[in-house]
Each structure stands twice: as structure tokens, then as C-alpha cells.
Structure 1
Amino acid sequence: METFGAYGPVLASVALFAVVVMLFSPLSALQKGKQGLAPGAEPAADYSDLAYRLHRVFENGTDTLSIFLATAGIAVLAGASPFWINLLAALTLASRLFMIFVHVAAIGSPHNGLRSIAYVVGWVCMLAMAILGLVALL
């Protein structure tokens, strides 16, 4: 594992985010079950409803996890700067965890609030990892 030793933080960030996303699957399912929704059903789009917010956290997480894994993985395999990739991965993880907190706690509005800012921060970090990975490949 010495080959990837310098990238320990990025690998840990991806693994931790995967675990967080996985945890929201049963949390979402339990809350939807309390409302009598069938497994796999999507709650009504009501930001004041905890089941909806938990469902969206899980859905958003699964959408983002693949992009996070791809951008981080490419950057690591390409040998991009460990300092920058580790930093960007940690910032991505922090922004996603903050976004989850804001979403679950229903802080602000569903559009253009803290959640949107956290999303953009994570998106920019993943884009930067992809660019650094491409630069390292070329």
C-alpha cells in the first residue's frame, strides 16, 4: 500500500463519504416507512418534510459519490500533487458534510442558500481534482 501512502487523506475522504451516504439509505427508508411509503418510493417534494430531506440527502450523496470517486481516483492514479489532491478531497468532504447538515436541519431555503454554497464549493473542488488529474496525465 506504500504506492498510495501519500494519498491516504484523499482515500480516507472518499471512504468516509461513502460510509456517510450508506448511512442515509436506512435513515431515509425508516422515515419514509413511518409515512407508509413503499420501499423505493419518493416522498412529496416538501422541504419541511424530514423524509423528503433525508431522501434527497441520500440521492444527492449517491449522485456525488461517483463523481468524487472518479475525480479523486483519476488524480491519484495519474500521480497528481498529493498536497493539492488531499486538500481538495478534504474540502470536498467538508463541504458535502456541511451540505448534509444544512439539508437535514432544514437551515435556510431549499434554493440559493447555504446548501447551494456548499454544493458549489464541493463541485469546484471535484472539478479542480479532475483538471489536476488530466494535467498529470498529459
Structure 2
Amino acid sequence: MDFTVYGSAFSGLLIVLVTLVVQSFVANMSKARLPNHIPGKIDPSLGHESFAYRAHRTMENSLENLGVFLGSAFLAIFINVDPFWTALTIWVYALVRIVHMILYYLISTEKNPSPRSYFYLLGLLANILLLILIFAQL
């Protein structure tokens, strides 16, 4: 199999992984600055008003979605789903996850839906489209 046709898809996957590393770094650094910080734990009294809470939830939200997304992306590549559509869905997912992250960092709200919710939904739709493409290929 010629994986070179998936170069754009692999680039998008790299962006997804780099975004997660950035989120982890921001979450850990912001939690470390809190008084009485315990590594690996977030103070349960924190809410959306706390940047450390929002940074932690941003990373957790990405982790919650990453497994299904990476599984879908690699399955699409392994079964030779059209490289254009595979790359497009991966890049949409990568970009909307970055916008989701930025909005979560900037907007302190418990309102639902919040602006970040729309970008979460776009990422979910990109993943669903990729799953549909996989089903069609099989």
C-alpha cells in the first residue's frame, strides 16, 4: 500500500497530536501554579471561573474524543478511503479542536451551549463523516 497519498492526512494527525501536547502542557502548568497543588489532581472546588479548571477540561475533552478519532483516521487510511476526503475530515477535526481549545481558554461560562460547543459539534460531525466513508469503503 502506498501511504504517500495520505501525506495531508498524516500532517493533520500531527497537528491533532501537537494540539494535545500543548493542552497537556498548559493544563499542567496552570494547575502547578495553584496553591496547594497536588500533581495529577484537580481541586474539585474549581469551576469555569478558574483557568486551571478550563485548561484541565480542555485536555480531558480532547482525550475523551481522541481514541475514536484516531481509530477512525487510521482505519480510513488502512482500508484506503479516498485520500482527499480522509485528509479533509482530519483537517476539519484538527482545526475545530484548536478553535474549541482557544474558546475554552478564553470564555468562562457554564452556559450550554457555549460557543465552544459548536466547534465540538463540528469535530464530532467530521468524525461521523469519516466513519460513514469507512462504512462505504467496506
Matched with 2:33 is: 34
Alpha-carbon deviations, 1:24-79, whole Å to 9, x = none? 22321221121122111123341111000110111111122212211111111111
Alpha-carbon distance, 1:113 to partner: 2.1
Cα distance in 2, alignment partners of residues 112 and 45 from structure 1: 20
> For 1:88 and 1:123, how far apart are their aligned partners in 2?
10
CA contact (8 A) 2:81 2:134 kept: yes
The more displaced of 62-71 and 118-127 is 62-71
Report matched runs for 1:74-93 at 5 Å. 74-93=75-94
The match for 1:9 is 8
Which string of whole-angstrom CA distances, capped at 9 and with x for unpartnered residues, describes residues 94-137 of structure 1?
A: 11111001001116655202211001100011011112112212
Q: Say whether the 8 Å CA contact 2:49–2:109 is kept in structure 1.
A: no
- 3-state DSSP class of the match of 1:40? coil
Q: Report the identity percentage.
A: 24
Match in the other structure for 1:119: 120
Q: Give 3-state SS (helix, strand or coil) of 2:2's partner.
A: helix
Alignment partners' CA distance in 1, 2:55 and 2:5: 35
Structure 1: state its 5+ residue gaps: none
* Contact 1:88 1:125 (8 Å CA) reproduced: yes
Question: What is the CA–CA distance in structure 2 between the aligned matches of 1:45 and 1:136, rounded to whole Å?
Answer: 46
Tell me the residue number matched to 1:50.
51
Give the aligned residue type for 2:117.
S
Change (3 A) 1:23 1:130: same
Distance 1:107 1:33 in 2: 20
TM-score, normalising length from structure 1?
0.89
TM-score by length of 2: 0.89
* 3-state SS, counterpart of residue 38 of structure 1: coil
CA distance in 1, matches of 2:67, 2:111: 23
Aligned residues of 1:71 and 1:126 also touching (Cα < 8 A): yes
Structure 2 unmatched ranges of 5 or more: none
RMSD, aligned CA: 1.7
